[in-house]
Structure 1
Amino acid sequence: MHAEIERYLKETNAAMRPICEKLREIVLKAAPHLEEGIRWGGPSYKGKGVVCGIGAFQKHVNLFFFRGAQVPDPGGVFNHGLDNATSRNVQFFSMEDVKVKPLTTLVKAAAKVDAEGGAKARTKRPDLPVPVVLAEALRGDPRAKKFFDSLSPSARRDYCEWIGSAKQEVTMQRRLEKAMTRLGEGRKLGDEYV
């Protein structure tokens, strides 16, 4: 047995451990080609992308399917996260909830979706125009401009959206002052929360 998985199972709530062990067995039999490892703190199974994973909690176990929204589920096995754009879950509260045949079918279907599509390519978001007030302020502060230009596109977008979304001039000016102070100090927006 995979050492990290063994450690995870030992540390799992004793009432939920048999469910985790059975789910692991089902996944490994249904899709033996998947790579088993610990991701996001629990057992997960990866092909081209993450196919599924197991998460044990105090009173239930989740079998999550990373791209579950694309997995056919004619038997209605998914019972949690049905509104999610990409993932789906099956929650188990007891061993009686673990139905081998439908779960095997679901795991095989998820592995097929993964094999056929792999990981979805991210679509690049267009650059957000820098608000005029921010552009003017940056021209007057070379240090802040240098730091702003060195930021990742998403970090620059954070500043642009924060300043540009202000509805009142007073709010925009207050945000601009805070932004220029942070940029001059070499700080990203929200760094104080990290």
Structure 2
Amino acid sequence: MTASRIQAFLDDLRDRHADHFAIVSRLREIVLQFGPAVSEEIKYGGILFSSRAAFCGVFPYAGHVTLELSGGASLPDRHGVLQGQGTLRRHIKLFAVTDIEDRHVAEYVELARQSADA
């Protein structure tokens, strides 16, 4: 059932906002490359990713897509791209697929996954 909900979410996003669909699809590829222990589910209006614990989520908004990092406040921010002031989470706003590489998203996703698995 989860796979069909994810596919329905992606199909709807593709139909409504092709640019956001491209960003979300690329983010999914990056997160899921970390192996079969990573699971995904539709939650809070986006896709939440977990391994031992939830570590990130991808959420489309009207003007951008946000990558939320569950324990982002404790992650090193070598590239100065993390935003937010909460006690736990940080996020990265993405406006185009090129932002994913420019903002070193894969590095932050890996740090978040390692932190959640510790």
TM-score > 0.5 by shorter chain: yes
Q: CA deviation at 1:45?
A: 0.5
1:29 to 1:17, Cα distance in 2 relative to 1, 3 A = same
One-letter identity of the residue aligned with 1:43: I
Higher helix share: 1
Deviation string 1:26-45 (CA, Å, 9 cap, x unpaired) is 11113542211111121110
1:94-113 to 2 correspondences below 5 Å = 94-99=96-101, 102-113=104-115
Match of 1:149 in 2: none
1:93 to 1:56, Cα distance in 2 relative to 1, 3 A = same
Other structure's SS at 1:27 match: helix
Q: Please, what is the CA RMSD of the aligned residues? A: 2.0
Deviation string 1:89-133 (CA, Å, 9 cap, x unpaired) is 0101112211178222111111111111xxxxxxxxxxxxxxxxx
Q: What TM-score, normalized to structure 1? A: 0.54
Match of 1:2 in 2: 3
Partners of 1:38 and 1:6 lie apart in 2 by 10
Judge conservation of contact 1:30–1:107 (CA < 8 Å) in 2.
Answer: no
Structure 2 unmatched runs, 5+: none
Q: CA deviation at 1:47?
A: 2.1
Partners of 2:12 and 2:29 lie apart in 1 by 18
Q: CA deviation at 1:76?
A: 1.9
Higher strand share: 2
Structure 1 unmatched runs, 5+: 117-194
Q: Deviating runs (4+, > 4 A) in structure 1?
A: none
Other structure's SS at 1:2 match: helix
Greater relative contact order: 1 or 2 (C-alpha under 8 angstroms, separation 6 or more)?
2
Identical-pair percentage: 28
Partners of 1:37 and 1:63 lie apart in 2 by 15
Match of 2:29 in 1: 25
Q: What TM-score, normalized to structure 2? A: 0.86
One-letter identity of the residue aligned with 2:69: F
